[in-house]
Structure 1
Amino acid sequence: MTQDSGEPRDDIDVIGGAAPSADVAQDAVELSDRCKSLLQIVVQEYVDTAQPVGSRIIADNYQLGVSSATIRNDLATLEKAGLLTHPHTSAGRVPTDAGYRYFVRHLLSNTELPPAEQRMIRHQFHQARQEVDQWLRLSTAVLARASQAAALATLPRAHETRFKHLELLAIRDSVVLVVLVLQGGAVKQQIITLDAPLEQPDLSRISNELNEKFADATTNVIVSEALTLSTLAHDIAMLVLDLMKREDEHLSEGIYRDGLAQMLEAPEFAEGENMRRIVQVFEQRSFLDEVLTELVSVSHVHVLIAGEGRYVELQDVALVLSRYGVEDEATGMLGVIGPMRMPYARTIGAVRYVSDLMSDLMHQIYGK
């Protein structure tokens, strides 16, 4: 049985539970090596089978060198510590939410995806179109497949939307195509009709003037600088401002999802109320933003088990989340939501790898 030293991992943040003082006490429990092995076995067996785990199953399938009676005593010790419980209809044990937290904090060993799987995922991203939209669709598909749960991701939200480049292209007569490129790679297009026709050289002169004046500008800068422009250039600047504000609104709403149907097939969600709560989580960007405030750094994996006592919607599930992006420029969130009976090592590895990959791609966009 592979086992960690029991020291808390510093690369995974397990956000505390419904009773933080109880979690602290459970973290401070001095478990024997055999009890740690038993807790690890119970978690992994329960993740695999969704069935309570009894001492006979452990004695038959694992070479611990002790009797079933000794195993039963150790399981009772773990139950007394609040790390296991047992359903009334079964003599077997299942992990509590505190037991899952202890497992993730202290007993996980290797959480890296196999190198071959990493190469396959990286190849998929390099084959995709170089657009954030495509990367996020692929991110959720990869995470849903890797975890056999549901995956979600939010669009990267810039601290301030910034201008990058503008093109004005003559189509016919007075009709002009406005192409605006924003920092972060978003491209906005709009067709406008001028009061009088302009030749392409005149349009290019205006776009060059605005590109020079608005380089890396925020909306506030554009409002200020537009006051010094000619009438037509000012009107174009106001259109640019409107497109940038609409992009802000779009980014505040964007959530990408995948795998919800396969997650809802888990026995934990057989009841309609549990299913309704999970669907609500997927539909509410404001709720995801509230959870996101817990995530303090890019590429650091955060595990939220049983909703921490503050999120009723999450009381039956676990989330494995990470920020991605470029600090101080634009960051988003991606991760997995599933039953607490989750393959944590594989899920954490997948979330970390995809988050790092998305951050690398975002750095390419921002040139950092």
Structure 2
Amino acid sequence: MFAEMTERRRQILKLVIQEYVASSAPVASEHLVRRYGMTVSSATIRNELAALEDLGYLTHFHTSAGRVPTDAGYRFFVENLMDRPTLATHEEHAIRQQFLTAHTTLDQWIHMAGAVMARTAQNVSVVVPPRGPVVRLRNVHLVPIHDTVILAVMVLHDGMVRQQTFVTDHPQPIDELQRLANVMNALCHDASVSQIRDRMDAVTDPNPGLLRQVVDLVCATLRIYDDALSIDIRSDGLLEMFNQPEFAHTDRVKHMLELVQSSGALAPLIPQITQSDGVQVFIGAESQRPDLREVSMVLARYGMDNEMVGVLGVVGPTRMPYARAIATVRYIAGVMSDLVYELHGESRAERDASIHGLPNGE
């Protein structure tokens, strides 16, 4: 197959894909000759288009003389013909500044990552929050709300914040709430549910009823969060989806909404992404899933390797501007990784230096 892929056919395939991605209209030989001032005749280009169709890279609809790319054509383009995926320097700077000016919480960064990817790549974005092997508690704060109503603010190991109210048998002084929170934070920093139980069961506290309430609440919250993480896929950019001609029909819009708002289609790919380096591109039927045959996904992992790893990317029709999607996903994955490292009190440069035994900054 590759022996038959002449240089002229490579260039024609590249032009067809670029034109089709830009216009969503099948590309005819006459259009290529006019658009690019080709020195060969339309008949010659037609023959080359027919050869590319025989190779499996193009196809055509019965109602049109023009050609459209196949999944194999897009794959050949991504791996062999696509211009180097990069964002302009001013775009990278603007994106990073948006993250740096946001509130320093993981929820804020995840929301921003989704919005920026959707806007930059002009497709639906998906973000899976980073998670480690076990959900752990970083610290807890207890705040009196009203009389016997207490707010528990729990900061988890990945930077996520969870808040839950509970009611006590009688009002608790602020000093007592602070004392009990200090006890838990001293004994349960970076502890899992089972570790929290074991450590707090060994404590003899002057306020055992309140202690038990807080321990039960914290452990229940961590369990709920752990269960939610397995299906937690955030999406953004639905307005961008509506601008795509592929989604002019209601049934296709419904299918895409179901795809990005549920975990059934994307969840099986997450382990593969978290264990792979770089950006992964899935094109149409390559995923071998009927519900994804008209969809392409550009996905990458982010976070702290082997400790706190998430997935982010863009999802759209196979007629996708792949270079821009890849560049966007790659850059934002890098920014998010930097932020996750910093959230845990360590820069990526420091981590790389410690792993490779290098002096800081080398």
Specify the TM-score bucket, using the shorter chain as the normaliser: 0.7 to 0.9
Q: Distance in 2 between matches of 1:235 and 1:219?
A: 14
Q: Distance in 2 between matches of 1:172 and 1:88?
A: 71
Q: Give secondary structure in 2 for the equivalent of 1:160.
A: coil
Match of 2:349 in 1: none
- Does structure 1 residue 48 correspond to structure 2 residue 26? no
Match of 2:189 in 1: 215
Give yes or no for contact 2:71–2:285 (8 Å, CA) kept in 1. no
Q: Distance in 1 between matches of 2:287 and 2:147?
A: 63
Worse-matched range after superposition: 173-182 or 140-149: 173-182
- Cα gap change, 1:181 to 1:216, in 2 (>3 Å): same
Give yes or no for contact 2:128–2:310 (8 Å, CA) kept in 1. yes
One-letter code aligned to 1:348: I
Q: Distance in 2 between matches of 1:32 and 1:171?
A: 73
Match of 2:42 in 1: 68
- Does structure 1 residue 339 correspond to structure 2 residue 317? yes
- Cα gap change, 1:279 to 1:191, in 2 (>3 Å): closer
Match of 1:85 in 2: 59
One-letter code aligned to 1:262: E
Q: Distance in 2 between matches of 1:88 and 1:253?
A: 42
Match of 1:190 in 2: 164
Q: Give secondary structure in 1 for the equivalent of 2:158.
A: coil
Give yes or no for contact 1:157–1:252 (8 Å, CA) kept in 2. no
Q: Distance in 2 between matches of 1:135 and 1:198?
A: 35
Which blocks of at least 5 consecutive residues in structure 2 are unaligned? 347-362
Alignment partner of 1:147 out of 98, 121, 128:
121
- Cα gap change, 1:263 to 1:228, in 2 (>3 Å): same
Q: Distance in 2 between matches of 1:99 and 1:146?
A: 24
- Cα gap change, 1:175 to 1:43, in 2 (>3 Å): closer
Match of 1:116 in 2: 90
One-letter code aligned to 2:123: A
Listed one character per residue, the Cα deviations across residues 11-47 of structure 1 (whole Å, up to 9, x for unaligned) are xxxxxxxxxxxxxxx5x45422111111100000111
Give the C-alpha shift of residue 66 in structure 1.
Answer: 3.1
- Does structure 1 residue 98 correspond to structure 2 residue 72? yes
- Cα gap change, 1:120 to 1:299, in 2 (>3 Å): farther
Q: Give secondary structure in 2 for the equivalent of 1:276.
A: helix
Give yes or no for contact 2:14–2:77 (8 Å, CA) kept in 1. yes
- Cα gap change, 1:273 to 1:226, in 2 (>3 Å): same
- Does structure 1 residue 242 correspond to structure 2 residue 216? no
Q: Distance in 1 between matches of 2:110 and 2:54?
A: 44
The 5 A counterparts of 1:292-303 are 292-297=270-275, 300-303=278-281
Q: Give secondary structure in 2 for the equivalent of 1:184.
A: coil
The 5 A counterparts of 1:348-367 are 348-367=326-345
Match of 1:330 in 2: 308
Match of 2:233 in 1: 255
Match of 1:275 in 2: 253
- Cα gap change, 1:320 to 1:67, in 2 (>3 Å): same
One-letter code aligned to 1:127: T
Worse-matched range after superposition: 232-241 or 77-86: 232-241
Equivalenced residues, count: 342
Listed one character per residue, the Cα deviations across residues 61-86 of structure 1 (whole Å, up to 9, x for unaligned) are 22554333332222222111100112
Q: Give secondary structure in 1 for the equivalent of 2:264.
A: helix
Q: Give secondary structure in 2 for the equivalent of 1:286.
A: coil
Give the C-alpha shift of residue 249 in structure 1.
Answer: 3.4
Give the C-alpha shift of residue 170 in structure 1.
Answer: 5.2
Q: Distance in 2 between matches of 1:288 and 1:225?
A: 38
Give yes or no for contact 1:304–1:318 (8 Å, CA) kept in 2. yes
Give the C-alpha shift of residue 93 in structure 1.
Answer: 1.4
Q: Distance in 2 between matches of 1:301 and 1:119?
A: 21
Q: Distance in 1 between matches of 2:190 and 2:3?
A: 54
Q: Give secondary structure in 2 for the equivalent of 1:323.
A: strand
Q: Distance in 2 between matches of 1:185 and 1:194?
A: 28
Q: Distance in 2 between matches of 1:269 and 1:176?
A: 48
One-letter code aligned to 2:268: E
Give yes or no for contact 1:299–1:352 (8 Å, CA) kept in 2. no
Determine which structure has greater relative contact order: mean sequence separation of CA pairs < 8 Å that are 6+ residues apart, divided by chain length: 1
One-letter code aligned to 2:100: H
Give the C-alpha shift of residue 366 in structure 1.
Answer: 2.0
Q: Distance in 2 between matches of 1:93 and 1:284?
A: 34
Give the C-alpha shift of residue 166 in structure 1.
Answer: 2.3
Match of 1:167 in 2: 141
Q: Distance in 2 between matches of 1:169 and 1:277?
A: 44
Listed one character per residue, the Cα deviations across residues 271-302 of structure 1 (whole Å, up to 9, x for unaligned) are 44333321210221233211223314466211
One-letter code aligned to 2:233: I
One-letter code aligned to 1:343: P
TM-score by length of 1: 0.84
One-letter code aligned to 2:130: P
Q: Distance in 1 between matches of 2:121 and 2:180?
A: 51
Listed one character per residue, the Cα deviations across residues 126-152 of structure 1 (whole Å, up to 9, x for unaligned) are 122222222222222212222222222
Identity %: 39
Q: Distance in 2 between matches of 1:271 and 1:194?
A: 54
Q: Distance in 1 between matches of 2:144 and 2:47?
A: 82
Match of 2:359 in 1: none
Q: Distance in 2 between matches of 1:200 and 1:271?
A: 58
Give the C-alpha shift of residue 365 in structure 1.
Answer: 1.4
Which blocks of at least 5 consecutive residues in structure 1 are unaligned? 1-25
